[in-house]
Amino acid sequence: MSEAFIVDAHVHLGQPGAFFAPETGAAELLAVMDRLGIQSAIGTDHLSIHEGCGTTLPGLRELFERSQGRLHYLGVFDPRRSEECLRALEAARDWPGLAGLKIHPSFHRTPAEHPSYGPAWRFAAEYGLPILTHSWSVSDTNPVQALSTPDRFEGWVRQFPEVRLVLGHAGGRGLQQEDALRMANEYPQVYLDIAGDVFCFRLIEKLVERVPVSKVLFGSDFPWLDPRANLSRVLLADVPLAAKARILVENAHRVYRLGGTPC
């Protein structure tokens, strides 16, 4: 749709595995995007997270082309399949639609600071690509979340200041969210997205007050959540209209270098 302009900077495709979702494919995502005025989305498929991107990147490129450039994709780096992932990323680094790398320390059961992530950071640095990572707070009910707390990425951030790092979920909804806010303030290359069920009271207002608005990106976490959940939080937030435009459009264009001029 010609009037669409919003960028959803954190989506997935395919069944999550943790539960059944009735609408998880590219066609369903594009239909939701059309209804809500979302022009572009950035993400990956759950199969890549489960199995690595060695065999999945060609399919994601095809989806990008079939969507007429609306569904940008990330190459998943699984530190347990480092060589396979690097081969796939090297082959795809100049492909249209590749927007960056995705890492998920909690799912891959590898602490974010582990040396096995080094190749991903070096690859991102060499080719000017951002990294989107899962980040969360320590959880008594989900212990693996402790592998993805924001502070665990800080060594890499210092070592590779040229790599743009997006802390997905803004550090979660626990105490470690403060670390995410601190890092977004302290490091020019650290950003936060609001994807997922970070249902903290007045989260958008808090983020705009505590960090530069240029550091905050809209993300839905589709299909884990309907995009309307987080989109409505931005649209209804008590922040200036210019701040909403940055969160919904401009910041994603800059961080992921999507090209073109955002509306």
pLDDT confidence of 137, banded at 50, 70, 90?
very high
Average pLDDT taken over every residue of the chain = 95
**Which domain CATH number covers 165?**
3.20.20.140
Q: How confident is the model at residue 114 (pLDDT cuts 50, 70, 90)?
A: very high
**93 falls within a domain:** yes
Tell me whether residue 220 is in a domain. Answer: yes
> Does residue 88 fall inside a structural domain?
yes
Beta-bridge mates of residue 191: 166
- State which amino acid sits at residue 243: A
pLDDT at residue 19 in the model:
77
- Residue 158 domain-assigned (yes or no): yes
Determine, yes or no, domain membership for 262. no
pLDDT at 237: 98
Q: Is the CB of residue 8 less than 8 Å from the CB of residue 32?
A: no
The pLDDT, as a whole number, for residue 1 is 39
Q: Is 14's pLDDT higher than 60?
A: yes
- Per-residue pLDDT band for 261 (boundaries 50, 70, 90) equals very low
How many domains does the chain fold into?
A: 1
Q: What token pair was written down for 189?
A: 């290359």
- Residue 261 in any domain: the answer is no
- pLDDT reported for residue 53: 79
Is 165 a residue whose pLDDT tops 80?
yes
Residue 1 domain flag: no
Q: What is the pTM of this model?
A: 0.96
Contact between 234 and 247 (Cβ < 8 Å) = yes
Range 30-39 average pLDDT: 97
pLDDT tier at 21, thresholds 50, 70, 90 = confident
Is 83 in contact with 51 (CB distance < 8 Å)? no
| Contact in structure between 263 and 5 (CB atoms under 8 Å) | yes
Residue 136: name the closest of 160, 163, 168 by CA. 168
- The verdict on residue 36 lying in a domain is yes
Task: Output the pLDDT for position 259.
Answer: 76
pLDDT at 22 over 90: no
Q: Give the H or E element holding residue 39.
A: strand 38-45
Q: Residue 24 — very low, low, confident or very high, per pLDDT cuts 50/70/90? A: very high
What pLDDT does 104 receive? 98
Q: What is the pLDDT of residue 260?
A: 57
Q: What would the pLDDT profile of 66-93 be if each residue is shown by its tens digit? A: 999 999 999 999 999 999 999 999 999 9
Owning domain of residue 184 = 6-256
CA distances from 28 to 67, 132, 145, 227 (A): 12, 23, 29, 12
Element (H, E) at 192: strand 190-193
Q: Is residue 99 classed as helix, strand or coil in its secondary structure?
A: strand
